[in-house]
Amino acid sequence: MLLDFEKLAPRDGYAWMTQTITPRPIAWVSTISPDGKPNLAPFSFFQGVCSNPPSLLFVPTNNRDGGKKDTLRNIEAVPEFVVNLVPFALAEAMNSTSAPLPYGESEFTHAGLAPAPSAKVRPPRVAAAPVSIECTLDRVVNVGSGVGAGNIVIGRVVAMHVAESVLGADGKVDPKKLDLVARLGGDLYMRTGDVFKIERPAGGSALRG
Ligand SMILES: Cc1cc2nc3c(=O)[nH]c(=O)nc-3n(C[C@H](O)[C@H](O)[C@H](O)COP(=O)(O)O)c2cc1C
């Protein structure tokens, strides 16, 4: 079967892309409004970019009315954010923060989540998250216009909080202890517990985790 994306409606293209480009990590992004009200929302169009400078990206797409999501509005006004990672234990809470609340209403309160102060940026982090990555805004790159268009938010990583409880005896992150969820198509998710190892060929990049 061949899908011609030049003829597909954006909604159908979205369905095929999100069911095939999997699994996607989830950035659970906290921001604040200019008057200091916190906001929290999940984004699975999310990835690291590079380590020099340490950078990541996530993509708030435009709303069904073509407008900006609260997260983007906040970042444009207060150019700092925290990417919290989502373990299985917080999956339901993460999902509840995707509810479209009125601007200025806190998803921390809505989901019963405690905020914790960040070290270098103003938005709070999710206290219960095993990893929280503090970022300042590098730039926003707009892709397309109207409903479903993307706004690639590129962030400069300035600090990372890592819970001791997810570290192994070697001091590295143990993926089974981290137990993150990743997004598949629709309402489906998976967990990062099914781990296997492949040694890399000799040579190549010096940057290996
Ligand atoms: C697991 C998950 C992943 C999501 N990924 C995205 C995404 O990558 N981009 C996006 O615009 N919305 C995504 N959403 C929907 C937003 O979370 C939702 O629109 C939210 O209300 C936006 O909040 P805000 O208006 O406070 O920024 C996702 C929702 C869930 C549950």
Pocket test of ligand 1: the residue of 98, 103, 110, 183 to mutate, having most ligand atoms within 8 Å of its CB, is 98
- pLDDT (0 to 100) of residue 193: 83
- pLDDT (0 to 100) of residue 69: 96
Query: Structural domains in the chain?
Result: 10-191 (2.30.110.10)
- pLDDT (0 to 100) of residue 208: 67
Q: Which atom of ligand 1 is nearest to the CA of 99?
A: 21
Q: How far is CA 7 from CA 2, 4, 10, 18, 99, in A?
A: 11, 6, 9, 18, 31
Q: What is the mean pLDDT of the chain?
A: 96
- pLDDT (0 to 100) of residue 206: 64
Span from the CA of 202 to the centroid of ligand 1 (angstroms): 40
Span from the CA of 196 to the centroid of ligand 1 (angstroms): 30
98 close to ligand 1 (CB < 6 Angstrom): yes
Ranges of residues in the chain with a pLDDT under 50 are none
Return all residues near 94 (Cβ < 8 A) that are at least 6 apart.
Answer: 26, 28, 42, 86, 111, 181
- pLDDT (0 to 100) of residue 209: 63
Q: pTM value?
A: 0.97
